[in-house]
């Protein structure tokens, strides 16, 4: 089963458990805070993995800032954590002899809004450790894919020979290419404006005072859709792109966030007790006037 389908099913299953869980909830804690984080991205691209011109490598990207709103009950909770993220894996550009001659840089910047459901695995007075599943609608803010390399001999698919620029010369052992600096493979208009990531991981909340908590969130996310538009994929599949070959693509990333939040604890039984007292006071009507009735007639004399 594909990772995205498994995570999506886990999220839907957790939602089916909500009605019974809410009825059993006795404690309530609400918090709002800010967080920042780092990401390690992986791009599953069948085209790049088969293309001898590239070798992907891992790197660290930043999720510079985000907000966090969380509601925790006794055994489960919800969290919404909108943030800015940067997705996309870079690759080395290789010559015919597998030597590194440049870089293919790929980055998509999203405003993402993860909506998560969590189940508390460890539930202490000052510490909660929870398993979490989430769905993250994401809006594309910017996107680009570029390539830079030195002049050398590279292996291009014969299908793209008809569209080679004049300074790309076909040799017996490949294609002699000139030096290239930031050649645009695809720009923002070539990517979908929306993406959805399915995620799963762990979150911990540490109550450091009676009002403030520090939280940590480690989550793996999988993009459900190929991030490129249909029109761009049609160009790739018809061999009209110089540095791309046909193949599906999905972006994945692991993200670690750290943040601080202000929280308030409630007891459900206390809230219900206050409601009951208010309703009893509102409905109270004495049967008899509790004091001596005022005199209606004047005293004789």
pTM given for the model: 0.80
> Residue 90 above 80 pLDDT?
yes
Alpha-carbon distance 102 to 100, whole Å? 6
Alpha-carbon distance 114 to 9, whole Å? 16
Taking alpha carbons only, the member of 251, 242, 250 closest to residue 51 is 242
Q: How much is the pLDDT for 266?
A: 80
Secondary element (H or E) of residue 111: strand 100-112
Burial class (CB in 10 A: 0-12, 13-18, 19+), 61: buried
Distances (CA, A) of 135 to 22, 204, 218, 228, 286: 20, 19, 15, 20, 56
Give domain limits for the chain.
3-269
> Residue 186 above 80 pLDDT?
yes
Strand partners, 186: 145
CATH architecture of the domain covering 3-269:
Beta Barrel (2.40)
- The pLDDT tens digits of the residues spanning 204-254 come to 999 999 999 999 999 999 999 999 999 999 999 999 999 999 999 999 999
Q: How much is the pLDDT for 27?
A: 74
Alpha-carbon distance 137 to 207, whole Å? 30
What percent of the chain clears pLDDT 90, i.e. is strictly above it? 76
Alpha-carbon distance 79 to 126, whole Å? 18
> Residue 174 above 80 pLDDT?
yes
* Average pLDDT score over residue span 107-125: 95
3-state secondary structure of 279: helix
Q: How do the residues of the chain divide into helix, strand and coil, expressed in percent and rounded to 5?
A: 20, 55, 30
Q: Tell me the average pLDDT of the chain.
A: 87
Strand partners, 103: 92, 148
């Amino acid at each position: 089963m594909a990772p995205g389908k498994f995570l999506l099913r886990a999220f839907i299953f957790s939602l089916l458990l909500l009605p019974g869980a809410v009825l059993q909830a006795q404690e309530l804690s609400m918090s709002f805070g800010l967080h920042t984080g780092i990401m390690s991205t992986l791009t599953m691209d069948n085209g790049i993995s088969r293309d001898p011109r590239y070798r992907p490598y891992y790197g660290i990207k930043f999720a510079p800032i985000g907000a966090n709103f969380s509601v925790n009950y006794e055994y489960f909770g919800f969290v919404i954590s909108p943030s800015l993220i940067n997705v996309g894996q870079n690759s080395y550009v290789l010559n015919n002899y597998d030597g590194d001659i440049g870089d293919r840089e790929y980055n998509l910047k999203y405003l993402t809004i993860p909506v998560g459901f969590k189940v508390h695995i460890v539930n202490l007075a000052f510490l909660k450790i929870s398993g979490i599943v989430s769905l993250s609608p994401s809006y594309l803010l910017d996107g680009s894919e570029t390539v830079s390399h030195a002049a050398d001999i590279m292996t291009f698919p014969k299908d793209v020979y008809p569209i080679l620029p004049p300074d790309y010369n076909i040799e017996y052992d490949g294609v002699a290419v000139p030096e290239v600096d930031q050649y645009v493979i695809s720009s923002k208009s070539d990517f979908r404006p929306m993406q959805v990531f399915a995620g799963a991981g762990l979150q911990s909340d540490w109550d450091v005072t009676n009002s403030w908590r520090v939280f940590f969130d480690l989550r793996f996310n999988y993009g459900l859709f190929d991030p490129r538009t249909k029109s761009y994929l049609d160009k790739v599949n018809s061999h009209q792109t110089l540095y791309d070959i046909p193949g599906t693509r999905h972006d994945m990333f692991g993200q670690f966030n750290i943040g601080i939040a202000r929280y308030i604890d409630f007891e459900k039984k206390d809230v219900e007790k206050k409601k009951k007292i208010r309703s009893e006071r509102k409905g109270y009507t004495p049967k008899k006037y509790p004091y001596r009735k005022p005199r209606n007639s004047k005293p004789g004399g």
